[in-house]
Amino acid sequence: MSQRIYIAPSILSADFGKINEEIASIDPYSDLIHVDVMDGHFVPNITFGPGQVGHMRSKKPFDVHLMIENPDKYISEFAKGVKSAVGEELYAQSYLVVHQEATKDLPTTLRAIKALGMKAGVALNPATPWDAIEGVLDDVDMVVCMTVNPGFGGQKFIDSVMPKVVKLKELKPKLLIEIDGGVNDQTSKLCKEAGADVLVAGNFVFSSPDRKAAIESLR
């Protein structure tokens, strides 16, 4: 039985000047809305803070990807922003994802996210091995395998990350695995073969004349 594929379009490639129109153009066809937060330190780009997240509106849960140094300092503010963006019900189905490379004490950070009532995710850069998170595989709701070096949309898919996805799926068949970066209607096939559950796509969706068709082509 083919497993269910969830699609999480990334709004990094959307027009921030009309972000709520942009979200409304995709949320009917999406399972999660991927919100890329960048601080200009952990990655060489800056996007938005918790205040702007709070002004967003979405009818689907958020998947907030924190590409920031020292995320512990900001998770409660981002959690507040998500609650105002998606409302109480979808809040509990929304994810805060921190980078393994940016955390000093990952188990504590994941516990803090869950204590706020959200789902907790951890992201691994392409060069970070799966065993960097071996100790938290039972505590995390989702693992994000980056298939680009984080910071920008529209980059080329790094297919040498796929063995990491295969290994994690073998170890924890029930663990949700998300692929983030360079996903399109071609590379999505590699992701599904490797056992991924959630596909993030930014440029492929927002540069397409038919966003609904682009999203459906990934499933």
**Active-site residues: which are they?**
36, 180
- What the block records as the tokens of 103 is 């955390």
Placement of tokens 């998606």 in the chain: 86
Residue 157 in contact with residue 148, Cβ under 8 Å? yes
Least Å from the CB of residue 10 to Zn ion: 5
Least Å from the CB of residue 149 to ligand DX5: 8
Least Å from the CB of residue 96 to Zn ion: 12
| One character per residue 118-157, x = contact with ligand DX5 (rule: CB under 6 A) | ------------------------------x-xx-xxx--
Residue 147 sits at φ, ψ, to 5 deg, of -115, 20
Q: Which is nearer to ligand DX5, 135 or 178 (CB)?
A: 178
Which residues, including other chains, have CB under 8 Å from residue 205's CB and lie 6 or more apart?
A: 9, 10, 13, 26, 211, 214, 215
Q: Which is nearer to ligand DX5, 115 or 133 (CB)?
A: 133
Least Å from the CB of residue 9 to ligand DX5: 8
Chain centroid to CA 168: 17
DSSP-derived secondary structure for 148-203: S-TT-SSPPP-GGGHHHHHHHHHH-TTSEEEEESS--TTHHHHHHHHT--EEEESH
Closest C-alpha among 123, 56, 47 to residue 83: 56
Q: Does residue 188 bind ligand DX5 (CB under 6 A)? A: no
The entry of ligand DX5, Zn ion, none that residue 158 binds, CB within 5 to 8 Å by partner kind: none
Residue 106 in contact with residue 123, Cβ under 8 Å? no
- What the block records as the tokens of 88 is 């109480």
Tell me which of 12, 56, 97, 113 binds ligand DX5, using CB under 6 A.
Answer: 12
Q: Does residue 203 bind ligand DX5 (CB under 6 A)? A: yes
Position closest to ligand DX5 via CB: 202
Is residue 169 helix, strand or coil? helix
Q: Does residue 202 bind ligand DX5 (CB under 6 A)? A: yes
**Binders of ligand DX5 among 42-101, rule CB under 6 A?**
65, 67
Binding site for ligand DX5 (CB under 6 A): 10, 12-13, 34, 36, 65, 67, 148, 150-151, 153-155, 180-183, 200-204
